[in-house]
Structure formats: C-alpha cells, structure tokens
Amino acid sequence: SQKIEQNSEALNIQEGKTATLTCNYTNYSPAYLQWYRQDPGRGPVFLLLIRENEKEKRKERLKVTFDTTLKQSLFHITASQPADSATYLCALGGSYIPTFGRGTSLIVHP
C-alpha cells in the first residue's frame, strides 16, 4: 500500500539557519507533490507544488526538491525565523485526490 513518511520528531533549529524537512514515499509514483504549512488549531495552508518532471522549485525563502529515483522530497526554509515555526505537511498526488503525510513540526529558536 502507499506510504508517506515524514519525520515524527520535531526539528529544532536556531534562527537564521536553514531548515530542511523530508518527505519519503513508497509504493507510489506521484505526478506531483505539494507542501502545506499548518499552525496549531488551524487548517493547512498551501505553499508549493512541484511536478514529477521538475527537480527543484523556489518561492521566496522556500525551496523544494523532488527526486523520483530516491522517492523523496526535501523542503528547505532559508534564513529561518521564529515565525516559521509550524507543522509542515507533504501531499502526493497523481490521481484526483492527493494523499497527505503526518507532518513534521519545525521549531525555530530565537
């Protein structure tokens, strides 16, 4: 069955450093991958999409890579700020309804 893995342990980093979050998947050949941000008690907010034929996508301080051979996406936040602290979810799609991972909590310390 399809499986999406995101690190269940929170990632703690210092302000100004680059945060890197991982999304691994098995038994799946997604056409695209999305990243969302979720704050406590709120709904997720769509951040970025990367398609299977794209290696890298950037948006301001965000960068996403997609390696279909490794079956992995990396999500980077450069020059991280305490305001970036949240849970980040990846979602894989190909058929109509994407499948979401559990998310990884990022904590940026001032």
Partner 1 sequence: DGGITQSPKYLFRKEGQNVTLSCEQNLNHDAMYWYRQDPGQGLRLIYYSQIVNDFQKGDIAEGYSVSREKKESFPLTVTSAQKNPTAFYLCASSILSGQAYYGYTFGSGTRLTVV
Residues that bind partner 1 (CB under 8 A): 4, 8, 31-32, 34, 36, 41-46, 49, 51, 89, 93, 96-103
Minimum CB distance to partner 1, residue 99 (Å): 8
Nearer to partner 1, 9 or 83 (CB): 9
Minimum CB distance to partner 1, residue 15 (Å): 27
Q: What is d(CA 63, CA 61) in angstroms, rounded to the nearest whole number?
A: 7
Nearer to partner 1, 8 or 69 (CB): 8
**Nearest in space to 32 (alpha carbons), one of 47, 51, 46, 56:** 51
3-state secondary structure of 82: helix
Minimum CB distance to partner 1, residue 89 (Å): 7
Nearer to partner 1, 19 or 23 (CB): 23
Query: Do 15 and 84 contact (CB within 8 A), yes or no?
Result: no
**Nearest in space to 107 (alpha carbons), one of 91, 89, 83, 90:** 83
